[in-house]
Amino acid sequence: MTAGTRPPRPAARRPRALRRFGRNRLSLLGAGLVALVLALALFGPLLAPYPAHVAGGIDTAARFQPPSAAHPFGTNELGQDVLSLTLAGARASVLAGFSVVLIGGTTGILIGGIAGFLGGWIDEILMRLTDLMLIVPNLILAMTVAAVLGPGFQNMVLALALGWWPGYARLLRGEVLAARERPHVTAARAMGASQARVLVRHILPDCVSPVIVKMSLDMGFAILMVAGLGFIGIGVRPPVPEWGTMLATARAYMPDMWWVAMAPGLAIFVAVFGFNLLGDGLRDSLDPRGGR
Amino acid sequence: MLRFLFRRLLMLGPVLVGLTAIMFVIARLLPGDPVGLAAGPNATLAERAALAQEFGLDRPVWDQYLSYVAGLARGDLGRSLMTRRPVAEDIAIYLPATLELVLAAMALAIALGLPLGLLTALWQNRWPDRLGQVLAIGAISMPRFFLGLLLQLVFAIWLMWLPLGGQLPVVTLPPPRVTGLVTLDAALAGDWATLGAACRHLALPALALSLSPLAAILRMMRASAIEVMAQDYVTAARALGLPRRKILIKTIGRNAVSATLTVIGLYFGWLLGGTVLVETVFDWPGLGLYATRAILSQDMMPVIGVALVTGLIFVAVNLAVDLAYGLIDPRVRYE
């Protein structure tokens, strides 16, 4: 910025937002849970009490042992320690959820940003496509694509991301339309800034807060969807521990060996709960007006 | 209002065509071998070719698409490779079970969510409200299939209060089919024993499905009630000395509900396409199970059909929500 007339915009609001965030104990709990889940995603396999089981080792002598001091969540049908698998499973879930939100979010931001910025018939076409994609049931779309492409991490991420962008496109288009009319954007235009510079330097920074909030709330939802695909049997390939797949296997032995299902189910819940609390807190502190 | 309705109904045509186009692109352009899966591993090349020809899979994709859209105008959704039956007939069999499940779940979510939302708004920032907020976020975070497993474990296996899954006991004959909704059909036939059994089977899956819409409705209702409570007309009603109950229900509740309607409409549509997991857990013979089976055998006609039907119901419900605004809030004008 050469003119130095930048009005107080979200950038200047952020320290206050941080203080507001810090005052809310629930948001802090959410941030703590998210930090825990991220740490597990990074170091989970190292923390597992039975690393051999994570690597695929089995212990048929110790099948279906109920919870005990040695195995707090029991052992599964292969005699593997359920806690170890669950700790290691954080990696697949978090990585998949993160990739889905990142790919879907970026695509949506591009589409919505272009539609809102250019307007006219491009806007019309892109937004009609967005409306249509919003109607297609997400889970069925993802299941279809994942089933046809075959199981595997990348295919699953691709399948979910395909239905993930429309929400971001709508959000970004609205934000861009609102930002376009603000005085600092008009001023930049009047000073002869190029289209691209106006978009990247002046409009998009105004749209950052709502996108961060949505991404944080979406992380929880994405982890749920990843686990759901795993539960149906179209997810990560079996040797890699994944929470949804673990639950699907556990269901087969459900009434009697109920403990096999507890750790992965609780793990999904805790991870999603953390991201939702965090996203909620971020929304309240970054955008006090916007309620759901 | 009639013009509004007419224009919205006119838009259904393009939406349907667009939806089929998207689903066709995804279903047909991705690699996959539906014919091979349907014909079985021992089929000869000639048998496979015959099967492909019978189902029109040997023709170019655009040709298949055009004849599909032409069939759509007659209500023909194509034929399933897996069941070898018309998709429209299959959907007619499976849709009512899913509708019954979604309707029960939404009824539960609305009946509990609206009053709880209003109450927590009254207690804003006191401990019942805080607790309600945490519980609501927890409910949204709970994976439906894990919740379903837990409910089965507690209520069906340990307490033995409710059945484990299915729509009716194996020994019970389903009531004569009128609407396809088992509970409603049983009530129409005056068969109270069957109605009771059907309700008992419906309880757990409906509960598992209702938790996240319940939380969403509660939160939305709370937010809009808090907004409404700050309005001048609420102060005016208080100043006039109207009874508190009346203010709460008539003035605040009624005005806050209209914003919540949108969430209700959206969730209804999402649930229709999202029953898959709950249906899997409870062996509920609905669209989700049908779609899952079709997807796993790469049988695309049923998948396209299910996506179309749920998409159509989604649009219809949201249209109904738009119309309901006018009933609740007389200030709404349709243009």
Q: Do A143 and A232 contact (CB within 8 A), yes or no? A: yes
The answer to whether A135 contacts B315, with C-beta atoms less than 8 Å apart, is yes
- Kindly list the residues from chain B whose CB atom is less than 8 angstroms away from the CB atom of residue A251: 149, 281
* Closest listed residue to residue A244, CA positions, set A96, A133, A116, A99: A96
Closest residue in chain B to residue A226, using alpha carbons only: B143
Give the three-class secondary structure for B86: strand
pLDDT tens for each residue of A210-222: 888 888 888 998 9
Contact flag A137-B15 (C-beta cutoff 8 Å): no
Neighbours of B66 (CB within 10 A): 12
The domains of chain B are located at 17-73, 93-332
Chain A interface includes B303 (CB < 8 A): yes
Cβ-defined contact of A273 to B141 (cutoff 8 Å): yes
Give yes or no for B236 touching A (CB within 8 A): no
What does each of the 335 residues of chain B score in pLDDT, given as a tens digit?
777 778 777 777 788 888 888 888 877 666 666 777 777 777 777 777 777 777 777 777 777 888 888 888 787 888 887 778 888 888 988 998 899 999 999 999 999 999 999 888 888 888 888 888 889 989 989 998 899 889 988 888 888 788 877 777 777 777 777 777 878 777 777 778 788 888 888 889 999 999 989 999 998 889 888 888 888 888 888 888 888 888 888 788 888 888 788 888 888 888 887 788 888 888 888 888 888 888 888 788 888 888 888 888 888 888 888 888 777 777 766 65
Residue contact B143–A147, C-beta within 8 A: no
Q: Could you give the domains of chain A?
A: 25-42+81-286 (1.10.3720.10)
Q: Which two tokens stand for residue B248?
A: 């709460």
1.10.10.60, 3.40.50.10190, 1.10.3720.10, 3.30.930.10: CATH of B93-332: 1.10.3720.10
- Identify all chain A residues contacting B137, using CB atoms and an 8 Å cutoff: 273, 276-277, 280
Which of A145, A247, A277 is closest, CB to CB, to B30?
Answer: A145
pLDDT tens-digit readout, A94-131: 899 999 999 999 999 989 888 888 888 888 888 888 88
pTM to 2 decimal places: 0.85
Pick among A24, A140, A243, A275 to test the B interface (most B CBs inside 10 A) = A140
CA of A137: which chain B residue's CA is closest? B273
* Cα A182 from Cα A166, distance rounded (Å): 25
Q: State the smallest CA–CA distance between residue B197 and chain A in angstroms.
A: 22
Which residues does A contribute to its contact with B (CB < 8 Å)? 26, 128, 132-133, 135-141, 143-145, 147-149, 162, 220, 224, 227-228, 231-234, 247, 251, 254-255, 258, 261, 265, 268-269, 272-273, 276-277, 280, 291-292
Question: Which residues on A lie below 8 Å from B152 (Cβ)?
Answer: 254
Hey, what are A287's tokens?
A: 């955008």
